[in-house]
A and B are shown apart, each in its own frame.
Chain A
């Protein structure tokens, strides 16, 4: 955790511009993600039809002027379904990132501060981490039933331990820092040191970790839906669409191609932002100006 020992400075508007110019991947990632986000928000007015409406006569049509991405085996418009599916991916990705960062932060701060709590919490998290994320999520979905809320819950449980470990590491390394000793020497309580001195120092690594969690959650959601343990079949999501189109891959590849393409593109965008932020917030690289 050496990069947390000397974390960067919070960005002000001027600094933000410099950071974006020096790390264009952030700009590229944000651009792509922004487009997908815009499409998802504006889905009802983005030249879409009802994603659930079936046109039995127009089954398995290749892309045309009427159906930009073609139609699936029930004659549903793939473009509309892909655009609405973006909503699911983005909601799951951002919600899981936000929830697991919040939960991981709380657990990590407590574990980093108290040896007894550390021993108990870390052993529990070790147990959770020893189960592959997909299996854990499938098990939780089996218990709780399909639905977006349950997908978010299951993926949050799977992703929280990593965040908690990160925060705990940051707190443990910060505790040895002279400025923390200086704060103790000026008479501060541990609680206020935790909130005023340590918390701000966790922002940069958490921001980076949050983007990775977001990307992983989008992929995991698609995996869960693909194997039928995610969003219910009546809700169009990228994983569902790919699962349904699997049997028709040889004659109608567009059913899998377009949601798969958008999933890759969105995950790529989030990872580009994450990589850019990591480089921008790494003090060893930030010093070089």
Chain B
């Protein structure tokens, strides 16, 4: 995997928001690569900058409030951070497409779903209305919607949440994008539907060799779908590792804390009613660039060094990086 050239390469991305109280460094120096066919999960709690990262890649940030202050977003070597709006319109939906968290409101309520799928095809592939309509039915079938022909003529409110998310996926894959950005696509769905959507995405990825950037706060979902995981905290990348390695040996105390906060099935069955482990404190303000480890105030392992300097990302084994002066010890044998 590592020897193929990356499809998308985010280099030292800096995204800032103007607010009344000064500039907020929503994304501060994030870098990662996505190779063709690879699924990278972007993990972190609410407000850590994961959605802003994805919107930066699509250049869909609110124009008045936000700007990409630095860094590069290279799609096959082309820097999207400085591309024209005209160029971005050709990239969006064609090279990179996106599915959103809320399938209930991401479809236009007054247009049939067939029409909404066909629109992207007419736009990017230059198909006629009729051809696009036929291909839309094929796409509905490929996202496993029964009776696609009848469904294409229906309106969004006639479909369930899971069905609507399938429609969103059909729209996203209509032009065979090289990269699919999925921003918490299963968060609004119930658990059995979640599993179906994840299976569908995995299946599509296998069939089309499409790369995927999967944004989530659900570590269970990450284990199921991702090849590689990037953990973000307060706008910075704090750990990055292949998925199996991260689950086996989380090195950053924040990542370890996230795993500790996962409920274990049956843990309170035998009369035990222990609280879940929580991470004390809350996410720091992002008003100023980090001058020390942003996690230090909440970290059980922090020292004076952590409060004085920003820890650099350091290698923790094959493809495993963590930004911590005092990484968690490797429970399965010495540090790498």
Contacts and interface: CB of A to CB of B under 8 A. Distances in A.
Contacts of B120: 186-187
A182 B98 CA distance: 8
Interface string A186-215: 111100100011001101000000000000
Nearest to A186: B93
A74 interface: no
B190 to A, nearest CB: 20
User: Interface size bucket, B side?
Assistant: 20 to 34
A56 interface: no
Nearest to A201: B110
Contacts of B93: 185-188
A187 B91 contact: yes
Contacts of A181: 60, 100, 106
A24 interface: no
Contacts of B98: 182, 185
A187 B60 contact: no
A182 B100 contact: yes
A262 to B, nearest CB: 37
B106 A186 contact: no
18 contacts: A6-B109, A7-B110, A9-B157, A179-B105, A182-B98, A182-B106, A183-B119, A185-B58, A185-B92, A185-B93, A186-B93, A186-B97, A187-B94, A188-B89, A189-B89, A196-B111, A196-B119, A200-B111
Contacts of B123: 186-188, 192
Interface of B: 58, 60, 89-94, 97-98, 100, 102, 105-111, 119-120, 123-124, 155, 157, 168, 171-172
A175 to B, nearest CB: 11
A7 B157 CA distance: 10
Given A179-B109, A192-B123, 19 more contacts: A6-B109, A8-B110, A9-B155, A9-B157, A10-B110, A177-B105, A181-B100, A181-B106, A182-B100, A182-B106, A185-B97, A186-B120, A186-B171, A187-B90, A187-B91, A187-B92, A187-B93, A187-B124, A188-B89
Contact of A187 (B89, B100, B108): B89
Interface residues of A, number: 23
Contacts of A8: 109-110
Given A182-B168, A186-B119, A187-B120, A200 B90 contact: no
Contacts of B109: 6-9, 179, 201
Nearest to A9: B155
A196 B110 CA distance: 10
- Identify the interface centre among A177, A184, A192, A203: most chain B CB within 10 Å of its CB: A184
A178 B60 CA distance: 12
Interface in A143-193: 177-179, 181-189, 192
Nearest to B120: A186
Contacts of A183: 108, 119
- Identify the interface centre among B92, B97, B109, B168: most chain A CB within 10 Å of its CB: B109
Contacts of A184: 60, 92
